[in-house]
Amino acid sequence: MQTRNDPICDDFFIAKCKQHNLKITPQRTAIYNQLSRSKNHPSADLIFQEVKKPFPNISLDTVNRTLLTFSEIGIVDVVEGHGNPRRFDPDKKSHHHFYCIRCGGITDIYNKEYDNLKTVEEIEQKFIVLSKRVVFNGICDNCVGK
Ligand SMILES: [Zn+2]
Ligand SMILES: [Zn+2]
């Protein structure tokens, strides 16, 4: 459980906020802490449910806008929504995703070969590639046979 007194202990978060003149408020810290602790690529609503425990006055809109600000300044990633609410990813290291079409679960996959995936010429000529991620859609081990 997140409490108001949780220390700010993430240098990356602090550095990014300072770099972009984003004030480090207890609410923002709580939102970041909540996201960085979760492994399930939560939506803004899921984070809101947790953060409103220590901060009952916070609104879903504030949480949503804060997360979008975080993603704009490179603190977190927005991941594939698949038509569902936007999901967020605190892991900035290169990694890939397996998306379960039944439960909506997103599993992280770490693989050097995928990291080094070559872009085809068509992409290189047309676009500027900032990052690459391999996304698999399918049925996860929890949902198989259900
Ligand atoms: Zn599943
Ligand atoms: Zn991820």
Q: Higher model confidence: residue 118 or residue 60?
A: 60
Residues whose CB falls within 8 Å of the CB of residue 129, separated by 6 or more in sequence, listed in order: 119, 123
Ligand 2 centre to CA of 107 (Å) is: 7
**Which residue reads 């603190």 in tokens?**
75
Buried b (16+ CB within 10 A) or exposed e, 88-106: bbbeeeebbbbbbeeebbb
pLDDT at 3 over 80: no
pTM (2 decimals)? 0.78
The residue extents of the domains of the chain are 11-79, 93-138
Distance 67 CA to ligand 2 centre (A): 15
Query: Span 93-138: which CATH code?
Result: 3.30.1490
41 alpha carbon to ligand 2 midpoint, in Å? 6
Lowest mean pLDDT among 7-16, 61-70, 97-106: 7-16
Sequence-ordered list of residues with C-beta below 8 angstroms from that of 8, at least 6 positions apart, any chain: 14, 24, 29
DSSP 19: H
The yes-or-no verdict on residue 1 having pLDDT over 80 is no
Structurally, at CATH architecture level, domain 11-79 sits in Orthogonal Bundle (1.10)
Q: How large is the average pLDDT for residues 108-127?
A: 92
Higher pLDDT, 81 or 31: 31
Annotated binding-site residues for Zn(2+) read: 100, 103, 140, 143
Distance CA 8, CA 33 (A): 9
Q: What is the per-residue pLDDT for 73?
A: 93
Q: How far is the CA of 104 from the centre of ligand 1 (A)?
A: 6
Q: Starting from the CA of residue 143, give the closest ligand.
A: 1
pLDDT surpasses 50 at 2 = no
End-to-end CA distance of the chain: 32
Closest Cα to residue 60, out of 43, 83, 38, 81? 43
52-88: per-residue pLDDT in tens? 999 999 999 999 999 999 999 999 998 866 667 889 9
d(CA 123, CA 13): 32
